[in-house]
Every structure is written in C-alpha cells, then in structure tokens.
Amino acid sequence: MPTVFSHPAVPLAVGLGLGRARIPPRLLLAGVAVSILPDLDSLTFRVGISYGAALGHRGLSHSLLFAVAVGLVGACAYRALRTGWGRAFAFLCLATASHGVLDACTTGGLGVAFLWPWSQARHFAPLQVIEVAPLSLARLLSPRGATVLASELLWVWLPCAAAGLALAGLRVGLARRGAGAAMRPGGTP
C-alpha cells in the first residue's frame, strides 16, 4: 500500500485542478479523508483477522462497492459539504476508489478485492511500480521507508501534480474562451 501521505494525492489533484467553484474546500477535505479511510482495515490485524479474509487488509474496504457506499453516505451530507448531491457522490466515490487503485499498483501484498462481495479474488494493476509501504511506523522511519516515499513521489505525487495542473489549465483555458465568446457581438454568455 502507499503511505497515508500519498493516498490524498488523487483527490487533491482532482479538487485543486477543478477549482473551488466545483470542489469546495469542505468537499475537498472530505475527499482527502475518505481516500485514507480504506486503510482502517489494517486494524483488523490486531484482532486476529487474516490478511486474505474479506474483512482483512485490502478486502471489502478496498472494493468498488465500498467506494460507492462511501460516496452515497457522503452525498447525504451534500449541504454541509457546500455542493450538490451528485457532485458529492462522484467526488467521494472517486476519492475512495482511488485508494484501491493505488494499492493495486504496489509491488507487494495480496492484491485488492475490487469486486467483493461478488468475488474474493485479489487483483493487481498491470503496472506495479509503487514500492509497498511498511505497516509499522518504525519501518516507515527506516531507510526502507525513505525508498517507499521516493517511489511515491515519482509514481503518485508527480503524475497527480501533472494531472492537477493539466485540469487547472484546461479549466482556466475554457473560462477564458467562454469569457471571450461572451464579449464578441452575437456571442453566447
């Protein structure tokens, strides 16, 4: 799994790229929180649930069904998030699902149960380039942890920053183009 520091990269890139008008700060903060949420399943190790079990690490909390459920629950709070129901659902569902996608791109673990409960099969992405993070803080603060963080910088943060900048550029370009059309005679606002 990538570290807790890198899972928020996806919602941050999308949210900042689309801008505050589309992804208000409260929704962005909620997206960051739900991008980390699936890793609460790592606590199951402490109560004796095995890694490969449905309730184990990268099991049901990493599934697409879980992402949809989180999106639905979050969408019910759309007013508090200062957005519309559909936008809250889509953004929170995407932020939650991105967690499993990033985990599937790691070099270790048992894969991700994307299709739980219909399938217990665990899946990896075709490209597994992100160094798998250690599950303990002590190992994260070791030289191994530094290797993991460098891998996340290269394979998570840089692509997300590029995507966020591209989205922001597209948003600004479209806004300028729309403003220019509105200023021309016969243009539509």
pLDDT tens for 33-67 read 999 999 999 888 888 887 778 888 899 999 999 99
DSSP 130: B
Report the percentage of the chain scoring pLDDT > 70. Answer: 95
Structure tokens at 178: 């729309």
Confidence at 70, pLDDT banded by 50, 70, 90: very high
Average pLDDT over residues 10-37: 98
Confidence at 186, pLDDT banded by 50, 70, 90: low
**Is residue 182 scored above 70 in pLDDT?**
no
Residue 81: Cβ within 10 Å count? 24
Q: Please tell me the distance from the alpha carbon of residue 161 to that of residue 157, in angstroms, as a whole number.
A: 6
Confidence at 125, pLDDT banded by 50, 70, 90: very high
**Is residue 188 scored above 60 in pLDDT?**
no
Confidence at 145, pLDDT banded by 50, 70, 90: confident
Q: Is the pTM of this model over 0.85?
A: yes
Confidence at 187, pLDDT banded by 50, 70, 90: low
- Cα 5 to its chain centre, rounded Å, is 11
Say which range, 9-13, 52-56, 98-102, has the weakest mean pLDDT: 52-56
Question: In whole numbers, what is the pLDDT of the chain averaged over residues?
Answer: 92
Q: Please tell me the distance from the alpha carbon of residue 156 to that of residue 151, in angstroms, as a whole number.
A: 8
Cβ atoms of residues 38 and 98 within 8 Å:
no
Structure tokens at 133: 């993070």
Cβ atoms of residues 57 and 41 within 8 Å:
yes
Between 44 and 182, the higher pLDDT residue: 44
Beta bridge partners of 123: 112
DSSP 131: P
pLDDT of residue 16: 96
Q: Which residues contact 138 (CB under 8 A, 6 or more apart)?
A: none
Distances (CA, A) of 181 to 59, 151, 175, 184: 50, 44, 10, 5
